[in-house]
Amino acid sequence: MAVIGTGLIGTSVALAASRQGVSVYLSDRNRAAARTAAALGAGRAEDPPEQVDLAVLAVPPSQIAAVLIALQGRGLARAYTDVASVKAGPEQAVLSRAPEPARYVGGHPLAGRERSGPLAARAELFQGRPWALTPHRLTSRAALDRGLELAELCGAAPVVMRSREHDEVVALTSHVPHLLASLMAARLREGPAGVPLLAGQGLRDVTRIAAGDPRLWGDILQSNAAAMAGVVKDLQADLSRVATALDVLAGADDGGRTQGVRTLEDLLARGIAGLAELPRPGAGPSVGEAALRVLVPDRPGELARFLGAVAVLGICVDDVAVEAAEESGLSVCIPVPAADAERIEAKLSADGWDTVPGELVPGR
């Protein structure tokens, strides 16, 4: 395998693959970064002696097509993928310009840290995390299989979807949140002198991701501007209503105070309702769900393989919980839709997983 770009994500991919016995060849336009990754055990900072099975492009979204074209011109790999967090734009560029688009499948592991560079890399960074794969109309089965194998090799749960759908989702779940974290962190420079004394964990949670590399994030934001624009406009409308309500509540006139309070309480209630849409790790089954228990062999890679199988069935891996370690393996609880519980149990059993008989427990 070849990894092009040895920052946080590229080096983490290389470390995870190397741990599984894969020969990894590293390259980066910053030679020191590639050598640092190699020194960490991520692979060799040299060109591969022969064509590799897979090349992983760990470069910014705007560079995907150009780098892919150069690598395919050299015949570097049999298949290619990337780890960029924007998919539609690079996909269009690949389809229109790359000599062998069938050998390419888009990829995006949904994992990261607020730090950047190879020294921030971790082999376990992708464990249990979703890994989006976005095959286009020309992607070959072989290229998609290499992408799936890479995700599973890194311990992630592969999720196959269209590129535009991916970009719309991450605009809301990743890109706009990063922008908001940066906006909030920027306010700290304008704050009163006592800010460092009273900065609590809540502020740190809200602003933590603002520490990301500005050049990389600038590339990401401009590459997904179309999907982000609608989300930002909706937020702007909400903030305008909140600002109006706060102005009313801060004034001396009692007129409109009741409506101002209602506006704020409505926003807070909507926030709670939205938060409920996120998976709650280990929370167990909710209304309309059942808990399916499976014994997973306690062998390296088995849990990751199981999480991949669960993700293919449309189950969010963040809801999966390891309840106990038995002599025969790990007892894993999966919240599943009650209406689909028997079908999912039958499918997992047919695929060789050891489901626990009679352990379909209704949700609350």
Task: Please check whether residue 292 is in contact with residue 321, taking contact to mean a CB–CB distance below 8 angstroms.
Answer: no
Instruction: Name every residue whose Cβ is closer than 8 Å to that of residue 15 and which is 6 or more positions away in sequence.
Output: 40, 41, 42, 121, 122, 123
Beta strand ranges found along the chain (DSSP E): 2-4, 25-27, 52-57, 77-82, 104-109, 130-134, 157-160, 289-296, 321-326, 329-337, 354-355, 361-362
- What CA–CA distance (Å, rounded) separates 88 from 223? 9
User: Is the Cα torsion angle 160, 12, 91, 164 positive or negative in sign?
Assistant: positive
Tell me 45's DSSP state.
S
Q: What share of the chain has pLDDT > 70, as a percent? A: 93
- What CA–CA distance (Å, rounded) separates 80 from 86? 16
Question: pLDDT tens digits for 104-145?
Answer: 999 999 988 777 889 999 999 998 889 999 999 999 999 999
Task: Please check whether residue 12 is in contact with residue 113, taking contact to mean a CB–CB distance below 8 angstroms.
Answer: no
Tell me 155's DSSP state.
T
In the chain, the amino acid numbered 338 is A
Task: Please check whether residue 291 is in contact with residue 335, taking contact to mean a CB–CB distance below 8 angstroms.
Answer: yes
Query: Are β-strands 52-57 and 77-82 bridged in parallel, bridged antiparallel, or unpaired?
Result: parallel
- pLDDT at res. 17: 95
- What CA–CA distance (Å, rounded) separates 93 from 108? 17
Pair of tokens at residue 221: 């934001």
In the chain, the amino acid numbered 74 is R
- pLDDT at res. 312: 81
Q: Is 43 left (phi over 0), alpha (psi -120 to 50) or beta?
A: left
- pLDDT at res. 198: 82
- pLDDT at res. 185: 92
Alpha carbon 34 to its chain centroid, in Å, reads 24
At residue 157, the 3 state secondary structure works out as strand
Pair of tokens at residue 207: 């602003």
Alpha carbon 61 to its chain centroid, in Å, reads 15
Alpha carbon 252 to its chain centroid, in Å, reads 47
Each residue's pLDDT expressed in tens, for the chain with a length of 364 residues: 999 999 999 999 999 999 999 999 999 999 999 999 999 999 999 999 999 999 999 999 999 999 999 999 999 999 999 999 999 999 999 999 999 999 999 999 998 877 788 999 999 999 888 999 999 999 999 999 999 999 999 989 899 999 999 999 999 999 999 999 999 999 998 888 888 888 888 888 888 888 888 888 999 999 999 999 999 999 999 999 999 999 999 986 777 888 989 999 999 999 988 887 776 554 444 445 678 888 888 887 888 888 888 888 877 777 778 766 666 678 888 888 777 788 888 888 888 898 876 544 444 3
If one counts every other C-beta atom within 10 angstroms of the C-beta of residue 137, the result is 8
